[in-house]
Structures are given as structure tokens and as C-alpha cells.
């Protein structure tokens, strides 16, 4: 890449080159979090990416073997060949594959520090371990977890995440997650949720929503439009029907986008047909999993353009009563907008390259089954699931998800001459079959460079890891005999 240290310092701001000082997140004497912003300012630049192989994910443009991209004020201004711009900083993308940043549409980021927690009796790292520890997290633990998750995502080329908070224990916990998102440099939706294991007949009152909207969004937007607010509802998977319907009345009243979990195995406690009748379904109603969906459910979702997010690893591990692969194929045949996600880090990886590869390998119709006549899932499809479809699922399809003129510049660059990826014959196949996070050379979020030359910018990785380890050790100790060592 063709950057001088002078230009690099100008791009990211002098402060980002200096050592980090002060705590990332602290608590007052009363144990409540105090908002200490450690976000390092990174400036948007005028950039001209030259000589790139560009996977645009724009159906009108396709994949360009050799093209240039002009970025101004965070916007993709032009895509084409032989572009020039007098004052632009030139980014030499020779031997690079350039594509949109990934969009992870379903990630419980609060629990990232518990990635290897394992229940002693069950020997399983998700539900039993989550139930043993979810009440032990402090607001500071939430901050440390979301920061760890965010930086891991950015390092691997994810530029947008749906922080699906399904253990929002207090206003302080919510503030901790929002503070971490502010410091992450990522684009995000924050879906405010419930306290883990809230009784199925207990309505989540969402008493804190007005404060959150006032302090963090609207006229007091601390995110410069990079983060928007949503609601996580338990659906009929984790609450009874009457409770879910009451919570949906609230969601409709406040007009925030909704996300719910649906079953990964039988019985099918969700009912998309009924949700359509009630006016719940639509582009602002995101459903996760739904491996138990009937053909009628899928048809209702397709009619209403209701998106689905699939955490492929999680679907296979937790779907013990059916063929998750077959249902994913049925979702595709029904015409649903399918996006990829990581669910919880202890059950599915936040690595989009692995998610794409696994989904592609899984996407084969089986002879003698309901979808035996379907076509195989292509590498292009899984790239779209990991980028544009995720953006659409979060209501951001007009803003990001493809390299299109006029969209915000969320772009990643992969080295195509690394040992594990060279030689490249087909760019999309190389990304899905060979690429890993180690090939991510550069990450640009909203026109700001947050990773360059394989090095993260604006994050104190050592401190983030140490803080996460300290939180995990404290929670592990507090859980005692419930967890394995």
C-alpha cells in the first residue's frame, strides 16, 4: 500500500499513534459505570483505491477484474477504470481482492468473553454455561466483552454487526454495551433485550428505552449515525403467546425494528402465518434460526419480505430433531433474504470466512429429499448472504452491503498473493474456499481506515484482551463448581 507515515498520521489522527491512557470503562464508587470515552479519532480521507479485483456484490456491476474506487467523505463516489483524483491518497490494491465489508446479522456480543466456558455436568459450552454465568456479568464485563467481540470482527473484515442483547440486566449494562459500540468504530444495530431467564409470563417493560433513545440517539446521537436502536423480543420460543403479543404491542407503538428467535428444532412454537395476520412480519422484523418453520411459514415470510438470519454452525449443532440443511435449502427456494450470523461465540464462530465456507459446503440438495431438484448454493450466493443480505436484514441495504456508487464506504481488502490463497483463478471462489481473517489487509468503515497492512488501528489490543481475560476469570471463579476448569 502506498502510504507515507506523514499521510498515515494525517489519516488516523496523531492521538491514535500515541499510547492509550486511562481505563477503557470504569465504575463509580457505587459500582455504576461512568462513561469514559476512549475512542480514538480516525479521520475520513479522500482515497483512490487502484488496480483492484473488485467483488462489488452489486448486480448491475458484478465482479471487476481490474478497477478503481474513489472514496470521498465516507462515500463511494466512483467505481471504474483509470480513475484519477488530484488530491486523493492512493491505495495500491495490486494483488488485492476488494469487496464490501461483512455484515454479521445476529451476535450476542455480551457473552463473547465466555467463548470457552463449559458446564461441568453437561460438558456443553452454550446453554448450561450461559445459564450458570449470565447473572454474574457486571456492566464492566459487558463492556469488555463487546470490545473484544468488536475488534475480533473488524480484524476479520466485518464492518457491521447486529448486537443482539438477550441479557440486558440493567440500564448500566445497556450503557456499557453502547459505550463499547461507540468505541468500536463499527456500524451496528443495538437490539435492547431482556434479562436472561426472565419468566415466560413476565412482560419485559422496556422501561429504559426512552432514556436510551434520549441519551444515545436522536438529537444526542453519539454515534454519528453509525449505530441504530432496535428491540430484541423473546418471541414464543422464550415467552408465552400472550406475553409476546403484549411486547409486540409496545414494539409497534415505539416503531423500532424487532428481532426474535424462532425454534431450531421441533416443536414449532413460532407461527409466521399468525404473525402475518397480526401485521408483525415485514422487512423490520428479523427472525433468527426458524429451522422448525413449515412451508406455510416460509411462504408468509416471503410474501412480507421478512428476513431470516442463519448461524449455520449453531443450526446444525442445536437442531436435533430435523435436517437443518434441508430447511436452509427450503428457505432459499422460498425466496427469503438469508443472511449469515454467529449467534453466540461458544456455539458458532464470528469468522465470516468460515461461515461462508461451511454454508457453501452444506448447500447441496440430497437425492430422495424434498429439495432434491434444487440447485446447489453457489459461492456468489454465500458472499451475498455475508454482505448485502445482512445489510438488508438490518434495514441498511440502501447504505452498505455492496460496492455501489453513492453507498457508504464499508470496504475490505484481501491479499490474494498469500500462501493460502494464491494462485487466484476466480475471485469469488478464492474468497469462499481459501481466504481467512489472516488475509485481511485493510478494513475501511464509513470511509475510515481501521486496519491497514494487516494491523489494527485505533485499538489497544493488549489491553482489550487483558480486560476480557480478567472479566472471564472473575466470572469463572464466581460460577464455582458449575463450570469446568
- Residue 208 is predicted with a pLDDT of 97
Q: Where are the beta strands (DSSP E) in 73-164?
A: 75-80, 89-92, 96-100, 102-107, 158-164
- Residue 184 is predicted with a pLDDT of 97
Predicted confidence band of residue 9 (pLDDT cuts 50, 70, 90): very low
More confident residue, 38 or 23: 38
- Residue 195 is predicted with a pLDDT of 97
Supply φ then ψ for residue 452, to 5 degrees: -145, 135
Predicted confidence band of residue 485 (pLDDT cuts 50, 70, 90): confident
DSSP annotation string for 399-418: TSSS--TTSB--EEEEESSS
pLDDT higher than 60, residue 283: yes
- Residue 121 is predicted with a pLDDT of 81
Write the pLDDT tens digit of every residue in 357-391. Answer: 999 999 999 898 888 889 999 999 999 999 999 99
pLDDT higher than 60, residue 82: yes
- Residue 321 is predicted with a pLDDT of 85
436 contacts 353 by C-beta, under 8 angstroms: yes
117 contacts 405 by C-beta, under 8 angstroms: no
- Residue 17 is predicted with a pLDDT of 33
- Residue 39 is predicted with a pLDDT of 67
Query: What is d(CA 142, CA 170) in angstroms, rounded to the nearest whole number?
Result: 11
Average pLDDT over residues 70-92: 97
Predicted confidence band of residue 126 (pLDDT cuts 50, 70, 90): confident
| Domain ranges within the chain, ordered by starting residue | 46-100+404-453, 102-394
Average pLDDT over residues 261-278: 96
pLDDT higher than 60, residue 469: yes
46-100+404-453 has CATH 2.40.110.10 classification: no
pLDDT higher than 70, residue 37: no
- Residue 220 is predicted with a pLDDT of 83
- Residue 25 is predicted with a pLDDT of 55
* Mean pLDDT (the chain, rounded): 92
Give percent above pLDDT 90 in the chain.
85
Average pLDDT over residues 441-464: 97
Give the side-chain half-sphere CA count within 13 A for 335.
8
Query: What is d(CA 124, CA 119) in angstroms, rounded to the nearest whole number?
Result: 6
Element (H, E) at 52: strand 47-55
Query: In terms of DSSP bridges, do strands 455-456 and 448-452 run parallel, antiparallel, or are they unpaired?
Result: antiparallel
322 closest CA partner among 289, 349, 281: 289
Angle at 99 between CA 94 and CA 104, to 5 degrees: 145
Write the pLDDT tens digit of every residue in 139-190. Answer: 999 999 999 999 999 999 999 999 999 999 999 999 999 999 999 999 999 9
Query: What is d(CA 57, CA 79) in angstroms, rounded to the nearest whole number?
Result: 13
- Residue 414 is predicted with a pLDDT of 98
pLDDT higher than 80, residue 472: yes
Predicted confidence band of residue 11 (pLDDT cuts 50, 70, 90): very low
- Residue 38 is predicted with a pLDDT of 58
pLDDT higher than 70, residue 8: no
Give percent above pLDDT 70 in the chain.
92
Q: Where are the beta strands (DSSP E) in 176-226?
A: 187-192
Handedness of CA 402, 404, 406, 411 (dihedral sign): positive
Predicted confidence band of residue 458 (pLDDT cuts 50, 70, 90): confident
Q: Measuring CA to CA, how many Å separate 61 from each of 137, 286, 336, 442, 476?
A: 47, 28, 23, 22, 50
228 closest CA partner among 286, 175, 161: 161
Q: Which long-range contacts (CB under 8 A, 24 or more apart) does 324-328 make?
A: 324/264, 324/291, 325/362, 325/363, 325/366, 326/366, 326/369, 326/370, 326/371, 327/290, 327/291, 327/293, 328/359, 328/362, 328/363
Query: What is d(CA 30, CA 27) in angstroms, rounded to the nearest whole number?
Result: 7
Predicted confidence band of residue 436 (pLDDT cuts 50, 70, 90): very high
102-394, CATH topology level: TIM Barrel (3.20.20)
- Residue 23 is predicted with a pLDDT of 39
Element (H, E) at 450: strand 448-452
Write the pLDDT tens digit of every residue in 195-249. Answer: 999 999 999 999 999 999 999 998 889 999 999 999 999 999 999 999 999 999 9
Helix%, strand%, coil% for the chain, nearest 5: 35, 20, 40
Amino acid at each position: 500500500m502506498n502510504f507515507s507515515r506523514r499521510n498515515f498520521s494525517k489519516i488516523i489522527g496523531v492521538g491514535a499513534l500515541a499510547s492509550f491512557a486511562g481505563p477503557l470503562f470504569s465504575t463509580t464508587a457505587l459500582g455504576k459505570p461512568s462513561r469514559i470515552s476512549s475512542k480514538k479519532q480516525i479521520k475520513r480521507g479522500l482515497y483512490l483505491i487502484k488496480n483492484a479485483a473488485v467483488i462489488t456484490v452489486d448486480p448491475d456491476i458484478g465482479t471487476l477484474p481490474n478497477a478503481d474506487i474513489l472514496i470521498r467523505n465516507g462515500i463511494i463516489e466512483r467505481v471504474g477504470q483509470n480513475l484519477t483524483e488530484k488530491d486523493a491518497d492512493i491505495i495500491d490494491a495490486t494483488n488485492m481482492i476488494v469487496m464490501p465489508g461483512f455484515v454479521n446479522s445476529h451476535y450476542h456480543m455480551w457473552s463473547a468473553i465466555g467463548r470457552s466456558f463449559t458446564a461441568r455436568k453437561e460438558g456443553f459450552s452454550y446453554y448450561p454455561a450461559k445459564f450458570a454465568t449470565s447473572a454474574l456479568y457486571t456492566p464492566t464485563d459487558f463492556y469488555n466483552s463487546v470490545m473484544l467481540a468488536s475488534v475480533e470482527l473488524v480484524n476479520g473484515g466485518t464492518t457491521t454487526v447486529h448486537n443482539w442483547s438477550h441479557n440486558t440486566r440493567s440500564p448500566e449494562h445497556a450503557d456499557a454495551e453502547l459505550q463499547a459500540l461507540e468505541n468500536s468504530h463499527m456500524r451496528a444495530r443495538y437490539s435492547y433485550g431482556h434479562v436472561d431467564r426472565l419468566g415466560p409470563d413476565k412482560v419485559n417493560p422496556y422501561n429504559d428505552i426512552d432514556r436510551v433513545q434520549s441519551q444515545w440517539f436522536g438529537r444526542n446521537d453519539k454515534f454519528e449515525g453509525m449505530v441504530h436502536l432496535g428491540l430484541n423480543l423473546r418471541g414464543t420460543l422464550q415467552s408465552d403467546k400472550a406475553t409476546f403479543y403484549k411486547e409486540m404491542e409496545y414494539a409497534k407503538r415505539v416503531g423500532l425494528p424487532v428481532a426474535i428467535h424462532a425454534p431450531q428444532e421441533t416443536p414449532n412454537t413460532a407461527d409466521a402465518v399468525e404473525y402475518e395476520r397480526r401485521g408483525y412480519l415485514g422487512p423490520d422484523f428479523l427472525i433468527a434460526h426458524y429451522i422448525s418453520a413449515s412451508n406455510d411459514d416460509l411462504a408468509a415470510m416471503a410474501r412480507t419480505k421478512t428476513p431470516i438470519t442463519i448461524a449455520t454452525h449453531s443450526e446444525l449443532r442445536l437442531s436435533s430433531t430435523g435436517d437443518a440443511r434441508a430447511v436452509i435449502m427450503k428457505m432459499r427456494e422460498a425466496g427469503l433474504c438469508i443472511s449469515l450470523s454467529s449467534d453466540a461465540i461458544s456455539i458458532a464462530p464470528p469468522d465470516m470466512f468460515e461461515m461462508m465456507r461451511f454454508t457453501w459446503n452444506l448447500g447441496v440438495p440430497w437425492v430422495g429429499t424434498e429439495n432434491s431438484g434444487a440447485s446447489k448454493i453457489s459461492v456468489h450466493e454465500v458472499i451475498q448472504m455475508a454482505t448485502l443480505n445482512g445489510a438488508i436484514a438490518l434495514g441498511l441495504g440502501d447504505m452498505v452491503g455492496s460496492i455501489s456508487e453513492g453507498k457508504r464506504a464499508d470496504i475490505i481488502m484481501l491479499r490474494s498473493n498469500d500462501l493460502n490463497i494464491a494462485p487466484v483463478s476466480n475471485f469469488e471462489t478464492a474468497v469462499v474456499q481459501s481466504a481467512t481473517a489472516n488475509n485481511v489487509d485493510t478494513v475501511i468503515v464509513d470511509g475510515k481506515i481501521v486496519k491497514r497492512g494487516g494491523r489494527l488501528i485505533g485499538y489497544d489490543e493488549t489491553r482489550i484482551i487483558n480486560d476480557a481475560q480478567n472479566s472471564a476469570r472473575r466470572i469463572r471463579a464466581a460460577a464455582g463448581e458449575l463450570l469446568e476448569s
